[in-house]
């Protein structure tokens, strides 16, 4: 029952999904705000996908366009694969955030603007010569103007915090507003604040007050006509947690160490966007994980090779520029046939490129980027949670086939989050790590007849002392050999060893049409966008087949046969055409390239348009 004086209670609309984007200055705490919204949405049971998008500079000049940091989250009651194309709502903390993001917001969408940062200076910093709030720029949107600075100050009055500390809480005022609008509970964030600021009770109080004040402001003022509710998603039953790609990679590596019974060694050098794997693994000391922050990328790779030689599950993590630096060392791992896992969290390039933006342009570097004939295994992860399985797979192949393996992830899935159906640890397949200990008839370069793997011998094993190195090996003995015929034999053997991995990996599966006009072949982090596009096409009655590759070198044995069943092959990638070259070369088909290199993922709509064009 209404008590009479409050404005008309807003109606609550149930919707299937919402995409919102928090945008502000890089000092405004947008990443934190977005991840809190994500955690809360996960806990209410939505399916979700996130897209953090932040500048490479820690703090670009405040209020400017390069300093804008954004976090997009899509939460849904249905099964979703991407963070969404056009947001339904934008929270813009300053003019620069408005300017950068408004063009992507759905027409008719909700735009909440913090007018507290819309003074003349703020507008100038964002290169506005006028005030967009007083123009027709926003006519197509439902705009809610609120001075979050003033409202936060009022909410925190009497706490004794200075203005700077007070204003730092305004992101939680904004978060409180969104919690009210989208009917999210505040408790998870209130609890999180308690643990986050454990040693600063005044900050717990301030942030909690700001969050509640944002909620209450919406409740009292009646500014919003509607509230929305997104019911829980019908996900596969089981226990879930929210996970980011880099986190899942780290967990997958720890799991691989357990499943192989090996000590995990990580040799790494800080590089965006891969560093979080190093950070996470350095916390897992009680799992016996040795993390080594080396002096440079080369040392990280070389120490990893040393650890593999000494019998550890040895991993190095990096991004594109680091992979380039590690190239010579990886060649040594190819020559000495040691199990080394190299994780490349791809980013925009070349050179420093776009360190915080995503790209898939290291595929050819991974497959070919070493001197001479240096074949190795390349696999890729397709989503944040899939990084766990991909890390396990990389370790398994490395150890069971005695070869370096490059695992490609990318900035988009490394920093993006999604709900992860937790695996049953007891059901994870063990990794078969075997060390040779028998001295009789020992030859360092003898081979397993099926895999062609050479024996792995830990230094410290009596009777098996031997020498290895980067100089060509004589077949069997591993002694230095300059014999021409031996060199060709060894080059071919190393290549065949990698090719034979195809006998141990699953065959490719075609989703959708099993034959016909068009086959889409994709790899890596574009999986979500392409899955959405394929679903849309199918819903519209269009027939298209789709293969998403985990294994890029070697490729699944049946891929050639699948390609033959279709008239055309379309290869969408976030590069200028790399997998498409491999497909054209290996299967001699005129595969069509669909490329985007803007540091951003594909939009579902872009893919649907391209697929329709090829089907027409």
Partner 1 sequence: MTPVTLTKKDFKSDQDVRWCPGCGDYAILNAVQSVFAEMGMDRSKTVIVSGIGCSSRFPYYMSTYGFHTIHGRAPAVASGIKLANPELDVWVVTGDGDALSIGGNHFIHALRRNVGLKVMLFNNRIYGLTKGQYSPTSLVGAVTKSTPNGALDNPFTPVSVALGAGAAFVARSVDVFGKHLTETIKAAAQVKGSAFVEILQNCNIFNDGAWMHVTDKDVKDDSIVELRAGKPLTFGKTSQFGLRLNGFDVQKFEIGKEGAIDDCITWDPGMPNPGLAFAFAQLAEREMPMPIGVFRNVERANYERAVHQQIAEATAKSGQGDLAKLLNSGDTWTVS
157 contributes a contact to partner 1 by CB under 8 A: no
Least CB distance from residue 462 to partner 1, whole Å? 4
Q: Which of 3, 129, 195, 286 binds partner 1 (CB under 8 A)?
A: 286
Nearer to partner 1, 160 or 459 (CB): 459
Indicate which single residue of 217, 240, 523, 602 sits in contact with partner 1 (rule: CB under 8 A): 240
Candidates 68-76, 88-96, 123-131, 232-240: pick the segment binding partner 1 (CB under 8 A): 232-240
Cis peptide before 564 (omega within 30 of 0): no
Q: Could you tell me the strand order of the sheet in which 566-573 lies?
A: 511-512, 545-549, 516-523, 566-573, 592-595
Q: 148-155 and 170-181 helices cross at what angle (nearest 10)?
A: 100
- Distance CA(135)–CA(541), nearest Å, equals 43
Asked if residue 267 binds partner 1 (CB under 8 A), the reply is: yes
User: Which residues lie across from 260 on neighbouring strands?
Assistant: none
Query: Residues for the chain: how many in total?
Result: 616
Stretch that binds partner 1, among 53-61, 278-286, 522-530, 583-591 (CB under 8 A): 278-286
3-state secondary structure 106-173: CCCCEEEEEHHHCCHHHHHHCCCCCCHHHCCCCCCCEEEEECHHHHHHHHCCCCCCCHHHHHCCHHHH
Is 476 a binder of partner 1 (CB under 8 A)?
no
Residue 372 found at the interface with partner 1 (CB under 8 A):
no
Q: Can you tell me which of 62, 138, 165, 310 binds partner 1, judged by CB under 8 A?
A: 310
Name the minimum Å distance from CB 239 to partner 1: 5
Number of residues that bind partner 1 (CB under 8 A): 71
Closest distance to partner 1 from the beta carbon of 469 (Å): 3
* Interactions with partner 1, residue window 439-458 (CB under 8 A): 458
Neighbours of 2 (CB within 10 A): 8
Alpha carbon dihedral 595, 90, 387, 76, in 10-degree steps, equals: -110
Residue 576 lies near partner 1 (rule: CB under 8 A): no
Residues 6+ apart with CB under 8 A from 252: 387, 388, 389, 390, 391, 392, 395
- The yes or no reply on residue 37 touching partner 1 (CB under 8 A) is no
Q: Is 278 in the site for partner 1 (CB under 8 A)?
A: no
Q: Parallel, antiparallel, or unpaired for β 566-573 and 592-595?
A: parallel
Q: Which of 26, 304, 385, 403 binds partner 1 (CB under 8 A)?
A: 304
Toward partner 1, which CB reaches closer, 294 or 443?
294
The answer to the question of residue 467 lying near partner 1 (CB under 8 A) is yes
- Smallest distance from partner 1 to CB 21, Å: 22
Calculated CA dihedral for residues 406, 412, 418, 422, nearest 10 degrees: 10
Q: Is 460 in the site for partner 1 (CB under 8 A)?
A: yes
Instruction: Report how far residue 398's alpha carbon sits from residue 434's, in angstroms, rounded to the nearest whole number.
Output: 12
Binders of partner 1 among residues 99 to 138 (CB under 8 A) are: none
Q: Scan residues 181-210 and list those touching partner 1 (CB under 8 A).
A: 188
Check residue 271 for interaction with partner 1 (CB under 8 A): no
- When the beta carbons of 468 and 610 are compared against partner 1, the nearer one is 468
With CA atoms as reference, report the closest residue to 341 among 275, 385, 400, 293. 400
The residue among 457 and 513 lying less far from partner 1, judged by its C-beta, is: 457
Cis bond upstream, residue 117 (ω within 30): no
Site for partner 1 in 323-352 (CB under 8 A): 328-329, 331-332, 336
236 near partner 1 (CB under 8 A): yes
Strands 89-92 and 110-114: parallel
Residues numbered 478 to 517 that lie near partner 1 (CB under 8 A) are 479-480
Q: Which of 20, 30, 42, 583 binds partner 1 (CB under 8 A)?
A: 42
Residue 301 Cβ vs partner 1, minimum distance, rounded to whole Å: 8
Convert residues 527-566 into a mask of x (bound to partner 1 by CB under 8 A) and - (unbound): ----------------------------------------
Cβ atoms of 547 and 521 within 8 Å: the answer is yes
Cα-to-chain-centroid distance, residue 608? 23
Q: Which of residues 13-32 bind partner 1 (CB under 8 A)?
A: none
Question: 365 near 320, Cβ under 8 Å?
Answer: yes
The verdict on 363 binding partner 1 (CB under 8 A) reads no
């Amino acid at each position: 029952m209404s008590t009479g004086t409050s404005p008309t209670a807003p109606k609550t609309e149930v919707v299937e999904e919402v995409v919102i984007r928090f945008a502000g200055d890089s000092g405004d705490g947008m990443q934190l705000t977005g991840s809190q919204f994500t955690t809360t949405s996960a806990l209410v049971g939505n399916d979700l996908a996130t897209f953090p998008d932040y500048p490479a500079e820690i703090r670009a000049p405040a209020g400017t366009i390069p300093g804008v940091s954004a976090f997009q989250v899509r939460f849904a009651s249905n099964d979703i694969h991407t963070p969404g194309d056009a947001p339904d709502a934008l929270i813009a903390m300053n003019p620069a955030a408005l300017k950068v993001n408004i063009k992507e917001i759905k027409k008719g969408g909700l735009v909440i603007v913090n007018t507290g940062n819309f003074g003349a200076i703020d507008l100038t910093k964002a290169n506005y010569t006028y005030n967009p709030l007083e123009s027709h720029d926003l006519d197509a949107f439902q705009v809610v103007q609120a001075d979050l600075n003033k409202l936060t100050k009022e909410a925190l009055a009497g706490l004794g915090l200075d203005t700077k500390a007070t204003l730092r809480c305004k992101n939680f005022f904004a978060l409180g507003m969104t919690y009210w609008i989208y009917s999210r509970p505040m408790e998870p964030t209130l609890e999180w604040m308690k643990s986050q600021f454990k040693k600063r009770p005044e900050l717990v109080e301030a942030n909690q007050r700001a969050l509640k004040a944002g909620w209450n402001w919406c409740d009292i003022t009646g500014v919003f006509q509607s509230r929305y509710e997104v019911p829980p998603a019908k996900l596969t039953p089981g226990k879930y947690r929210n996970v980011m790609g880099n986190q899942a990679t780290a967990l997958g590596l720890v799991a691989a160490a357990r499943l192989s019974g090996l000590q995990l060694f990580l040799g790494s050098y800080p590089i965006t966007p891969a560093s979080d794997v190093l950070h996470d693994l350095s916390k897992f000391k009680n799992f016996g994980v040795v993390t080594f922050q080396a002096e440079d990328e080369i040392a990280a790779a070389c120490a990893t090779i040393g650890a593999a030689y000494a019998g550890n599950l040895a991993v190095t993590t990096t991004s594109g520029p680091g992979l380039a630096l590690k190239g010579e060392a990886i060649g040594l791992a190819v020559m000495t046939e040691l199990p080394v896992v190299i994780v490349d969290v791809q980013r925009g390039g070349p050179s420093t490129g776009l360190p915080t933006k995503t790209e898939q342009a290291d595929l050819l570097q991974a497959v070919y980027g070493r001197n001479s004939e240096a074949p190795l295994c390349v696999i890729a992860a397709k989503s944040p949670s899939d990084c766990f399985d991909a890390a396990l797979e990389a370790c398994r192949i490395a150890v069971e086939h005695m070869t370096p393996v490059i695992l490609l992830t990318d900035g988009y899935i490394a920093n993006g989050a999604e709900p992860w159906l937790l695996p049953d640890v007891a059901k994870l397949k063990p990794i078969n790590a075997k060390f040779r200990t028998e001295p009789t008839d020992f030859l360092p370069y003898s081979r397993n007849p099926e895999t062609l793997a050479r024996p792995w011998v830990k230094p410290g094993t009596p009777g098996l002392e031997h020498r290895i190195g980067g100089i060509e090996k004589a077949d069997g003995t591993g002694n230095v050999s300059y014999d021409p015929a031996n060199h060709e034999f060894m080059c071919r053997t190393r290549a065949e060893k990698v090719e034979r991995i195809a006998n141990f990996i699953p065959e490719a599966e075609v989703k959708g049409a099993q034959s016909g006009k068009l086959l889409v072949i994709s790899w890596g982090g574009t999986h979500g966008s392409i899955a959405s596009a394929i679903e849309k096409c199918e819903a519209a009655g269009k027939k298209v087949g789709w293969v998403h590759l985990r294994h890029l070198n070697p490729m699944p044995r049946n891929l050639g046969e699948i390609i033959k069943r279709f008239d055309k092959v379309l290869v969408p990638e976030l590069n200028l055409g790399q997998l498409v070259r491999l497909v054209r070369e290996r299967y001699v088909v005129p595969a069509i390239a669909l490329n985007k290199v803007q540091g951003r993922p594909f939009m579902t709509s872009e893919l649907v348009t391209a697929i329709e064009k090829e089907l027409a």
